[in-house]
């Protein structure tokens, strides 16, 4: 890249000192909850033989992705909240953009696989162990990570080849595609539609697959309702909550022209911070098996 810009200036969430202190406390506590909660889930699932079903294997992968997702943005945000000048090098900005989309897309695919797992367990219980065996689980998890990598490398290559020679101010607390490409010194009409069709359509497609899966689950539970189905419904309700918080902001931000809409940095907090915080809370406090294993551990 032959850009004249060597660094970008992040405006952050606020320029008021008092609010920056409050934000630092909030995001520090949120980051601590994400790290401790998800690490506890990973250790619990790995050490308890009772938690060897595909659902907990996928949950363990989700915890790893949540830790990675929040670690990409939160540490730098915490440092910037205590700094006067919030600058990020061009190379660091591109790296943050790459890993954020890599982990984010992988989590989208994984949440879709988790919905398929719940659909198979509830709608086809007699065939569940044959369909969701360990080999299939490893293949599905690997496909999620590979799909996230392919999505991210496309986004990064489209961004890194753009020339940047003018303004270098990003109205957010991290580098993301919509905010970075609008600073380019060239016409980005085609590129922004390529990126919107990439990120936005992936978000929308995964969300529609999730909605269809849960629709089949609700129909099955309504027709054949038992005490076991009530437990499944409770599990799916918490899953729907996480899915909604994660997908709706992503669809809103990425499935539209980037240059014609203002920055939505406060909406970004939902899927970069709040969703990873809620995952360990929902999957532990609403799951008796996980809670019992944690107390035993």
The answer to whether 258 and 195 have CB atoms below 8 angstroms apart is yes
Return the biggest CA–CA distance within the chain.
Answer: 65
Could you tell me how many residues make up the chain?
297
Domain ranges of the chain: 7-295
- Give the whole-angstrom CA distance, residue 74 versus residue 70: 6
CA distance 13 to 269: 10
3 state SS for 81-138 = HCCCCCEEEHHHHHHHHHHHHHHHHHHHHHHHHHHHHHHHHHHCHHHHHHHCCHHHHH
Q: What is the structure's pLDDT at 32?
A: 93
Q: What is the pLDDT of residue 227?
A: 54
Q: How far apart are CA 10 and CA 75, in angstroms?
A: 14
205 is written with which tokens?
């497609």
Nearest to 240 by CA among 282, 203, 280: 282
For the chain, 297 residues long, give each residue's pLDDT as a single digit of tens.
Answer: 555 777 888 888 877 888 888 989 999 999 999 999 899 889 988 888 888 888 889 889 999 999 998 999 999 999 988 887 788 888 999 999 999 999 999 999 998 998 888 888 888 888 888 888 888 999 999 999 999 999 999 989 988 888 888 778 888 888 888 888 888 888 777 887 888 778 888 888 888 888 888 888 877 777 665 555 566 666 667 777 778 888 888 888 888 766 666 667 788 888 888 888 887 777 776 677 777 888 887
Record the pTM.
Answer: 0.88
d(CA 143, CA 173): 30
Q: Give the C-alpha separation, 222 to 91, whole Å.
A: 53
Query: What would the CATH number be for the domain defined by 7-295?
Result: 1.20.1070.10
| Torsion of Cα atoms, 53 then 55 then 60 then 62, to 10° | 170
> According to the model, what pLDDT value does residue 29 have?
93
The pLDDT, as a whole number, for residue 247 is 86
Res 196: pLDDT:
78
CA dist., res. 35 & res. 78, Å (int)? 15
């Amino acid at each position: 890249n032959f850009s004249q810009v060597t660094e970008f200036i992040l405006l952050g969430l606020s320029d008021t000192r008092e609010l920056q202190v409050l934000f630092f406390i909030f995001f520090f506590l949120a980051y601590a909850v994400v790290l401790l909660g998800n690490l506890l889930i990973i250790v619990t699932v790995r050490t308890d033989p009772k938690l060897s079903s595909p659902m907990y294997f996928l949950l363990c992968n989700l915890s790893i992705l949540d830790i990675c997702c929040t670690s990409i943005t939160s540490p730098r945000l915490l440092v910037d909240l205590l700094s006067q000048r919030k600058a990020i090098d061009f190379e660091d900005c591109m790296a943050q953009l790459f890993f954020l989309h890599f982990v984010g897309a992988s989590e989208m695919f994984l949440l879709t696989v988790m919905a398929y797992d719940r659909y198979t367990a509830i709608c086809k219980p007699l065939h569940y162990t044959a369909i969701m065996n360990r080999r299939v689980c490893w293949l599905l998890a690997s496909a999620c990570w590979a799909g996230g990598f392919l999505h991210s490398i496309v986004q990064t290559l489209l961004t890194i080849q753009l020339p940047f020679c003018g303004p270098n101010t990003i109205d957010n607390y991290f580098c993301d595609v919509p905010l970075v490409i609008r600073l380019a010194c060239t016409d980005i009409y085609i590129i922004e539609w390529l990126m919107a069709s990439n990120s936005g359509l992936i978000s929308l497609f995964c969300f529609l697959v999730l909605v269809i899966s849960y629709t089949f689950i609700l129909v099955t539970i309504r027709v054949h309702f038992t005490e076991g189905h009530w437990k499944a419904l409770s599990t799916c309700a918490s899953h729907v909550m996480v899915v909604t918080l994660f997908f709706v902001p992503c669809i809103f931000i990425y499935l539209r022209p980037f240059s014609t809409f203002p920055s939505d940095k406060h909406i970004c907090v939902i899927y970069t911070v709040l969703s990873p915080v809620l995952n360990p809370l929902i999957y532990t406090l609403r799951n008796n098996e996980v809670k019992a294993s944690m107390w035993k551990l």
